[in-house]
Structure 1
Amino acid sequence: MTHPLPPSPPPPVVSLSAMFRLRPGPNRVFFGLRAALAMGLCVVAGWLAGDEGAGLLATLGAFAALYGSGRPYRHRAALLTIIGAGLVVSVVGGVAATAASSAWPGVLLAAGIAFVAAFLCSALIVGPPGAYLFALAAAAGTHMHGQAAHLGGIAAAVAAGAAVAWVLQMAGALLRPRWPEEKSLQAAADAVAAFAERADGAGADLQRHATALALHEAWLNLFARQPGRAQPNDRLHRLRALSRALHRIFGATIAGEGGKDAASAAREIGVQVTNPPAVSADDALFKPLAYITSREMLAMSLRPGSTPMRIALRVGAAALIAGGIGALMGLDRAYWAIAASVLMLYQGLDLTRAMQRGLERTLGTFAGLGLAAILLSAHPQGL
């Protein structure tokens, strides 16, 4: 039995009203609090040690707290280690460039780091904030004049901040080692149930798309982001069995065989996530489909014309042009021009969406500057 293809979505348009609408998405309160705690601990540690500069340097490494949220802990541990090392290299490289008498080595280095970071983050699907914070860290380093003789201490401070972020990100593994997998599977179950209840109603296309994304995220956490193999009937294996059941329900719903029974079945799976039942004999023999390894992803991304290469070239060129203009104009904070150019382009959006994001981020930046001006007008002192 064949089913007609759904209509194509309308083309995107730049909209001022979109800036005042809250888009559906995961709750990021805990994520924000954890990142703020990582930054705050670095500043407090520097203040207690009598070296506030070192504490502020450490916050550049604490940027690592913004990566890897929601991913399995073993995968997250490796990712954050690499992210932390990349931030150390970015900052140290930027500071080392200040030894030159000209601003151009710093511009070239920041653009080079932006290019490499954009390529790797896009090829390996690191996700937001992607290459932006590497470029910001490198560009900030190029403004630390007179510190090139202290590269070891700078590297240690940034690494310490990254270590703080690593510990905070991994702390949950002590209580619930499979919490990220369970959470993504629970979200997928809720999405499948919601789609089954409104498969023929208004907004079904958007709900189907959101459900497919939720199922894919659960699959990534249960399969592609797992560094080891699941053992028969261990917790990971049983969660995978629930994921397969959800995919079957989703497929049946798309084929018109869903309804309230499908929604109830999906919600029951959501309940079972916290205590997944033992798998059947058939499921015990199941072997997951192969997925692309990181090495294969990099190899494919190195091909001319690949999306990661196109994004990296665009980001690198924009960073070079923005930094060059800033250097020629003698701007005191030219590195912000480099960071802003990377922020607008690192996600590889099309022209319309890039303009929308650019407008939103520009106005958001002005709002942030206004808030900072209000706070600084009070002349805060000490911690």
Structure 2
Amino acid sequence: MSSATPTPGTPPVRRLSLAGVLRLRRPSEIWFKPALSSVAAVAPPNLLLLAFGRLDLAMYTMAGALCALYAHNRPYAARARTLAWVVLGMLGGVAVALVTASLTRNAVVLVTVGALLAAVQKTLCDATRVGPPGNVVLTFISSATLFVPQTLDRIPGHLALAAAAGVWAWLVCMAPALIRPHGPERRATAQALNAAAAYAATRGTGDGHASARAAGYAAVQAAWQTLLSLPATGTRATTRHALERLVVRAEVALAAPADTDPERLRGWALALRGGGRIPRTGGTPEDREELLGVDAELAARPAPLRQRLGPLAPIAVRTALGCALAGYASLALGIGRPYWALVTAAALYQANLTLTWSRAVQRVVGNLAGVLLFAAIAPLAHLGQALLVLCCLALNFGAEALITRNYWLGSVCVTPMALLVTEFAGYQAPGDLMTERAVDTLVGALVGFLAAVAVTNRRAGNRVEHAVAAADRAREGAARLLAEQAPAPGALEAARRNLAAALTDLRATADGAAGEWWGRALPQERVVLAEQSGHRTLAEVVRRRAARPDLDTGTRTEDVRP
């Protein structure tokens, strides 16, 4: 239950702060996976081109190879589909860029096309929730390709190089499935258990309980999204059902933290980290009811893509306008690579203006530090093309290894890597590269942020209203089932999960709207009351379940290997 006190509507103008923007976080648990995958995907194509003396074509192979950065948190079946769509999306953007570059060398037209591509890539990546690194890599590839002289007859060959590297990246990312086929879903379940344990440790009232609860529900929701993407039948279904029972226990802990042993949850999470059996929490009729609730959720069709695109219209307009203006400003200053300013602007746009401001600060700090790092390593890289390739691979690894600590830290490696890549086609004066990169970073960040200020997201308040209404409907549905003596099998579990998802969405929507620069006052009192009543209902559902005489709380192990 929330202990927050209802407050008046938030003021229409919000302050932007620098507090914590550059603070380093703990590294991701799988930081090494995208780092190693990117090196394994990029190295063979680049080394082959080096052997054939055609390193000038590395831009196209890197376009496909960098797709290896995506989908590392997804189960392998879902990862295969996601990566395939990422590769196709990358090829589509590169194709548009190549055709445009072959038809015109007008820089204004090229910047305009690059900005429109950036807006489309941003919108589709957000709508499909493709995950990090989102649209930034796709925009960098398509924007850079726009400014390389091109002819129509060479387009098929260049696309074939990108496609071949994309297939190789797909194979690299799918290879771990041969060793640990259930790793991603086990990891997502363990994260949900640990997050629930952190909230249970507060007993629901201790210091930091509100943020711990929000993090717990977000982790549980992420775990459900991971598990529900797995097959419901076949050999993988056995593992899925065993993990589902553990996620249900995490949900129970979030609804009744005072009655939960956090060490037990952490023990289950620890058991999932290795390659041993999956802990089981019981094999009673209660478990079958829980799985019926999951099946009911699986039967619900997701919102169509068109419906998901609607709320993203303000961000799409911000991206198109900011990228175009940043590119035009770079051209006006006489910078030879305006796509750097365009990509900088595209990298800024987050869910709201406050997060966009934070990303702008991180981008500027990281890029400027990266320019200094380039000055230090350029003499070594210029000793030969082999060293140039090796330096890029090392920076590629460093970028992915560090970016989970904070975006600016990863940018320290991304910037010199991007500068060295421009030298694959031939030597570039380091002083000119450094100056242009620094100027384009400042121009892109300033103009891009001003565009975000100019394009306000006035729909944010409406989405909060809709999220409150959805949470109220979910709570009322659960309350009606609680009033029945014998609800239909699986109905109460499905209603509980629906209410938990609605409360998670409400908190995310309210946080996103609260970060906008200017807008009408948000219904903070309604949000707090909806959260309070929703969590009370969730707790009542848990008490109803605990009162059942057939509930087995013992722990066994599932004979399912990773």
TM-score range, shorter chain: 0.7 to 0.9
2:170 corresponds in structure 1 to 166
Of 263, 273, 284, 2:288 maps to: 284
Pairing 1:301–2:301 present = no
Q: Residue deviations 1:80-129, cap 9 Å, x none? A: 11111111221232122122142233223212211211111111112222
CA distance in 1 between counterparts of 2:51 and 2:197 reads 51
Match of 1:334 among 324, 338, 344: 338
The residue number in structure 2 matching 1:348 is 351
Q: Taking structure 2 as the reference length, what is the TM-score of the superposition?
A: 0.61
Q: What CA distance in whole angstroms lies between the structure 2 residues aligned with 1:367 and 1:382?
A: 24
Which residue of structure 1 lines up, in the alignment, with residue 451 of structure 2? none
Distance 1:323 1:205 in 2: 42
Structure 2 counterpart SS, 1:290: helix
Q: Distance in 1 between matches of 2:268 and 2:377?
A: 49
Give the 3 Å change call, closer, same or farther, for CA 52–8 of structure 1 in structure 2. Answer: farther
* C-alpha distance in structure 2 between counterparts of 1:349 and 1:25, whole Å: 24
Aligned residue identity for 1:179 = G
1:70-219 alignment, distance < 5 Å: 70-99=73-102, 100-199=104-203, 200-219=205-224
Q: Is the 8 A contact 1:114 1:342 kept in 2?
A: yes
| Comparing 172-181 and 94-103, the one that deviates more | 94-103
Gaps of 5+ in 2: 387-562
Query: Partner of 1:246 in structure 2?
Result: 250
The change in CA–CA distance for 1:193 and 1:77 in structure 2 (over 3 A counts) is: same
Which one-letter code corresponds to 2:210 in the other structure?
D
Amino acid at match of 1:151: I
Q: Corresponding residue for 1:50?
A: 53
Contact 2:41/2:168 (CA < 8 Å) preserved in 1? yes
Q: Output one character per residue of 1:335-373: Cα deviation in whole Å (capped at 9) or x when no partner.
A: 11111110011x2332x3322220111110011111112
- Tell me how far apart the structure 2 counterparts of residues 331 and 324 of structure 1 sit (CA, whole Å): 10
What is the letter of the counterpart of residue 76 of structure 2?
Y
Aligned-residue CA RMSD (Å): 2.6
Maintained 8 Å contact 1:95/1:143: no
Aligned letter for 2:175?
Answer: A
- The structural deviation recorded for 1:153 is 1.1
1:112 and 1:323, CA in 2 relative to 1: closer, same or farther beyond 3 A?
same
String of CA shifts for 1:49-74, please: whole Å, max 9, x gaps: 33212334211222211211111111
Q: Of the candidates 363, 366, 378, which is equivalent to residue 364 of structure 1?
A: 366
Distance 1:16 1:267, change over 3 A: closer
Structure 2: which amino acid aligns with 1:298? Answer: L
Who wins on radius of gyration, i.e. which is larger?
Answer: 2
The alpha-carbon deviation at position 243 of structure 1 amounts to: 1.2
Distance 2:148 2:112 in 1: 16
Q: How many residues align?
A: 367
- 1:126, 1:338 → 2: CA distance? 22
Q: Which runs of 5+ in 1 are unaligned?
A: none
How far did 1:209 drift?
Answer: 2.2
Q: Note the alpha carbon deviations across 1:310-345, whole angstroms, 9 max, x for none.
A: 211211121222223334444310111111110011
The answer to whether the 8 A contact 1:43-1:56 is kept is no
CA separation in 2, counterparts of 1:146 and 1:330? 22
Map of 2:4 onto structure 1 = 6
1:33 positional shift? 2.7
Q: In structure 1, what is the Cα distance between the partners aligned to 2:5 and 2:54?
A: 60
1:374 maps to what in 2?
A: 376
Q: Give me the whole-angstrom Cα distance separating, in 2, the residues matched to 1:67 and 1:283.
A: 34
In structure 2, do the counterparts of structure 1 residues 203 and 106 end up closer, same or farther at CA, with 3 Å as the change threshold? same
**What secondary structure, in the 3-state scheme, does the structure 2 residue paired with 1:127 have?**
coil
* 1:16, distance to aligned residue in structure 2 (A): 5.8
In the superposition, relative to structure 1, how do residues 25 and 213 fare at CA in structure 2: closer, same or farther (>3 Å)?
Answer: farther
Q: 1:234 to 1:217 in 2, by over 3 A?
A: same
Q: Is the 8 A contact 1:93 1:141 kept in 2?
A: no
Listed one character per residue, the Cα deviations across residues 101-160 of structure 1 (whole Å, up to 9, x for unaligned) are: 422332232122112111111111122221222221111011111344311111111112
Q: Which moved more, 1:122-131 or 1:47-56?
A: 47-56
What amino acid sits opposite 1:339 in the alignment?
Answer: V
Q: Which amino acid aligns with 1:370?
A: L
Shift of 1:377: 2.6
Kept after mapping to 2: 8 A contact 1:35/1:65: yes
